[in-house]
Amino acid sequence: MTGEPIMIQSVGRAARILKALGSEQARLGVTELADRLGLAKATVYGLLRTLEAHQFVEQDLETGKYRLGPALLQLGNAFLDNHELRARSLLRAESLASKAREAVLVGVLYGPTVLIVHHVFRPDDSVQILEVGASIPWHACALGKAMVAFLDPSERKELLDRLLYNRPELAFDEDEVALVAPPPNQSAYTDAFNEVFGA
């Protein structure tokens, strides 16, 4: 026993297909998926048929391409409904939005992204888009920067190192992010003015 987690190859491949279909190009054919994932077309086809039988993907009858299916939405909703932070934040987020007259986002840091688990609209008549379920790079939103600022210094450095390795054009350093954190026992907030979601 090496202590490494046991991985089921077919499940891993199915997960990679779902992630590919969840990328910016929402509909992909068997050949495109096989090329992108480096798998045989027969393997991809078999996995797609299995996923389709469980409604995790569906095929567009006109183009023959595949897209994510409704079962994933049901699973996503179940995840949110059972999320402890979301449940605990419902009343406080509503109250904060009302008092601040601003939108309130509640999120969880998952690796390099912030997953929005609750969103209270700004209490006015402006057009707003529900962000629940959005996965935003931590460096592209005020919420993410605040979360990273309060991380243990070694965790913060790891995220910054990974970010700068993948995006060397970004001018972030550890001290700049650490400045977001207030002194102990003081409250603070971050401003999302001119943040670029999905950057």
3-state secondary structure of 184: coil
pLDDT single digits (tens) 11-56: 999 999 999 998 766 789 999 999 999 999 999 999 999 999 999 9
Tell whether the torsion through CA atoms of 48, 50, 51 and 54 is positive or negative.
Answer: positive
Write down the pLDDT at residue 7.
Answer: 83
pLDDT single digits (tens) 65-95: 999 999 988 888 888 778 888 888 888 999 9
Question: Tokens standing for 148?
Answer: 């990273």
Write down the pLDDT at residue 197.
Answer: 43
User: In degrees rounded to 5, what are phi and psi of residue 118?
Assistant: -155, 145
Write down the pLDDT at residue 168.
Answer: 67
The whole model's pTM is what?
A: 0.65
Cα-based distances in Å from 148 to 4, 64, 80? 29, 43, 22
Alpha carbon distance 174, 187 (integer Å): 21
Give the domains, in start order, of the chain with CATH numbers: 9-69 (1.10.10.10), 83-178 (3.30.450.40)
